[in-house]
Amino acid sequence: MQVIKEMIPVVERLKREGYIRNEKVIQALLKVPREEFLPEELKEYAYIDTPLSIGYGQTISAIHMVGMMCEALDLKEGQKVLEVGTGSGYHAAVVAEIVGKDGVVVTIERIPELAERAKKVLKRLGYDNVIVVCGDGTLGYPPLAPYDRIYITAAGPKVPKPLIDQLKDGGKIVAPVGRKIQELILLEKRECKVFEKRLCEVAFVPLIGEEGWRE
């Protein structure tokens, strides 16, 4: 894919402000056409760094948040990554660019209409290394576990235990936790122990599911 020229000033600002530093994250953001993941009436706002509605009470994350989460995950080429909360499919596409054709992104969406829409867009754009699953993301996806990296795009009361169980030793999870006040958390699993680091305050939609919030 060619560089999206509308994204260049956004990425340059994010670099100046310290949100992103990793060259692979920068290149991925420059390549993924964000407007393709938005409703028609919002496409003109695609390169404004803000969350936007995608229907069903869900949003596409702000560009800086996608970049920050990718940086925190320390993604590598060839990794297997689990995303909880497909939404529009944009974040999964950025991650798919970073892990490359030898990697895979498994993404779970609980709302069937969003899962189907994301699947069609990702397929049309050639992201054959993304697998879209409709289901309860708080339970993870055991058939393809374990995962090198896991990230959640909605805030729950805690990082769901099934996701920690499905993480490889040496793996990392990035997830927002909390309700009114939310924090982005980085978990690292080393020798079956979990180490936690708090990154920053954030604002995400609620994580709904068996291991998340109730409706």
Active-site entry in 33, 37, 38, 61: 61
Tens of pLDDT, residues 168-197:
999 999 999 998 899 999 999 998 899 999
Contact 87, 154 (CB under 8 A): no
Clarify whether 61 is annotated catalytic: yes
Tens of pLDDT, residues 131-174:
999 999 999 999 999 999 999 999 999 999 999 999 999 999 99
The string over 159-186, giving b where at least 16 C-beta atoms fall within 10 Å of a residue's C-beta and e elsewhere, is bbebbbebbeeebbbbbbbbeeebebbb
* Among the listed residues 119, 114, 140, 117, the one whose alpha carbon sits nearest the alpha carbon of residue 205: 114
Spell out the residues 6+ positions from residue 3 whose beta carbon is closer than 8 angstroms to its own: 30, 31
What domains can be seen in the chain, in order of their start residue?
5-202 (3.40.50.150)
Which helix or strand (DSSP H or E) is residue 185 part of? strand 182-190
Stated pTM of the model: 0.95
